[in-house]
A and B are shown apart, each in its own frame.
Chain A
């Protein structure tokens, strides 16, 4: 039993934890990034949607039973909520600068968070993982919750699905074209409002699904919406606005910086996140995969 080997194994578990958190973060960040790329709208209510997803797990699957139902309900609610928010934001999108949008979406986030507080109070909830995956498995000699492996797999599958949809299908091409030049797409006979509402809805549903998936590994509580929103903002700034790949790489990076930071340098963990962001911005001001021209 070498001490070094134990250390490496312990960090392997930390890396896996970071991967799980990073993939949950991706589910939130990707919608934020695409909505900004498409509509030039920074949706500050995006974290509140994640919070509602978490409470969906608390309400429908507190013991892990009914987890799939919670996922489905969150997805549908996310679609509806996203479509509604797109309609609400559309009239001021791209016209009146970012302050109005910030006020509108921040207001919406307070309303959603307040509704959650009225219904669920200010308690801390940790819904259990689904019974089938509630056990621990041994990874490199360390006990590791099987549910986190499930989060990793589901997160990777969803990330791959979103990536393929965006990069390899005609619908994806239409969305990318709309990100690049909305007016030109409209001139080609496409009602871009439909594209905007669709992306807003899907992006919001992913955040809600992320809330359900993340609930058993995070604590669902008031304020987690703002915390998660901040992480998602850092993620899209690092990855580049309007880029799926950027959101994925950014989220995985933040997941690792967070997990390893807490394990290695707990007193600097918070600083490391912003340090990583500053470092990336110094080298690439538009983020890893963003171009300032395209982000507009």
Chain B
């Protein structure tokens, strides 16, 4: 059932026609439960796409399936035309997909600098993001460079998870609830950093419960319920249609 890994390289015309990240008819299961039921979703070059949905509708599973951490049952995910479904996570990581996962998942026993160096390892391509540049962007990390991951505050851990992703020289970043569990002031700091990434032109899929923050960053909104995409549109269209937010997200 799994889509065949791209055998032939896509032609130049095909590459131009497909968005940077294209999810097509993606299905995934957890045991017997059918978590993703045919997801279609695009992230274009330079685009930030916000993905909204209530708890348990499959947002994190979608992120994991794209990153190769959860096996998709069928369907296709392409990054710059290359098929990702069926590939191991490290292969996908090397293709330029960086993950800022839910709960940050910083390496607790490693120092901040060690966390960053592990990320900078084996990225293969000569990149523009260096340790110095990450420290410039996130000065708090430079101050804490000798501290262990588990000595950081939630906000600092989030910065570290973002810095780690940047050191991958990402073509695209998947951010899974970066504001989760952070104080409002810290959420603002994280939003500022994400704004800088957007200004850099780094495409992102931003999974969020904090609509206000995400709407300030995104170009496109995608709404999920129960394993399916039920609404896709621009941020402006989303703001003009409060019924959608009310019906599917229980807000507004």
Whether A associates with B in a native complex is: yes
Chain A residues with CB under 8 Å of chain B are: 170, 173-174, 176-177, 179-181, 183-192, 294
A294 to B110, CA, bound (A): 12
Judging by beta carbons under 8 Å apart, are A188 and B93 in contact?
yes
A189 to B92, CA, bound (A): 7
Which residue of A185, A189, A294 is within 8 Å of B124 (Cβ)?
A189
B223 near A: Cβ within 8 Å? no
Contacts of A186 in B (CB 8 A): 68-69, 88-90, 93
Tell which of B69, B105, B118 has the most Cβ of chain A within 10 Å.
Answer: B118
Whether A176 touches B107, Cβ cut-off 8 Å, given contacts A190-B90, A192-B90, is yes
Q: Contact flags (1/0) for B90-105 with A, using CB distance below 8 Å?
A: 1011100011010001
Kindly report which residue of chain A lies nearest to residue B64, judged by CB atoms: A183
Judging by beta carbons under 8 Å apart, are A183 and B121 in contact?
no
A185 to B88, CA, bound (A): 12
B108 near A: Cβ within 8 Å? yes
Query: 14 additional contacts, CB 8 Å, given A181-B107, A189-B122?
Result: A170-B114, A170-B121, A173-B114, A176-B109, A180-B110, A185-B107, A186-B69, A186-B93, A187-B69, A187-B90, A188-B98, A189-B94, A189-B123, A294-B109
| B28 CB → nearest A CB, Å | 16
Tell which of A183, A188, A294 has the most Cβ of chain B within 10 Å.
Answer: A188
- Would you give 7 A-B contacts (Cβ < 8 Å), ordered by A? A180-B108, A187-B92, A187-B98, A188-B119, A189-B93, A189-B168, A294-B108
Kindly report which residue of chain B lies nearest to residue A173, judged by CB atoms: B114
B133 near A: Cβ within 8 Å? no
Judging by beta carbons under 8 Å apart, are B110 and A187 in contact?
no
B79 near A: Cβ within 8 Å? no
B27 near A: Cβ within 8 Å? no
Judging by beta carbons under 8 Å apart, are A174 and B89 in contact?
no
Judging by beta carbons under 8 Å apart, are B69 and A185 in contact?
no
Judging by beta carbons under 8 Å apart, are B114 and A187 in contact?
no
Judging by beta carbons under 8 Å apart, are B118 and A190 in contact?
yes
A188 to B95, CA, bound (A): 10
Judging by beta carbons under 8 Å apart, are B107 and A187 in contact?
no
